Amino acid sequence: MREGDAVRVNCRVRGRPEPQVWWFLRGERVAPGERVKVVVNEAGCHTLLISKAELEDQGVIGCVAANRSGEQRFTCNLRVLPRDRQEAPNFVRKLTGQRTEVGSRVVLQAVATGNPTPNLTWLKVGRE
């Protein structure tokens, strides 16, 4: 997962009596909120949804299902990679003024950095 991606973890639970289900993230019980939701459907599928993963969400996700007959657990590891940072274009080598004679060859060089890598377009008198 990348930072900002949606995370969905499913756990199908069955038992008699109907088990209670709790979700854990990094050992702490999940408290549903704006970014984190817990959804249950009619088929007994319990889903943990994180709308926009943050670097702090990284770690072990656990699900515990329990009733008076016993308890079952499962865990998985959530790895959240940093989002590629965007960076505005920056000219690291700018054009320099040149004098030349009519008909002579001229070499113009410019170098720009940025993320994503910028496209450079050459214009002469306002036209490509």
3-state SS, residue 25 = strand
Q: How do residues 53-88 score in pLDDT, each as one tens digit? A: 999 999 999 999 999 999 999 999 999 998 877 888
Q: 32 preceded by cis ω (within 30°)?
A: no
Enumerate the H helices of 33-116 as residue ranges.
none
Q: Are 53 and 79 in contact (CB under 8 A)?
A: no
Residues 91-124 pLDDT 10s:
888 888 888 888 888 888 888 888 888 888 888 7
In the chain, which residue ranges form alpha helices assigned H by DSSP? none
Confidence of residue 9 (pLDDT cuts 50, 70, 90): very high
CA–CA separation, 38 vs 62, rounded Å?
A: 13
Domains of the chain in start order, with CATH, are 7-78 (2.60.40.10)
One DSSP character per residue, 61-81 reads: EEEEEEETTEEEEEEEEE--B
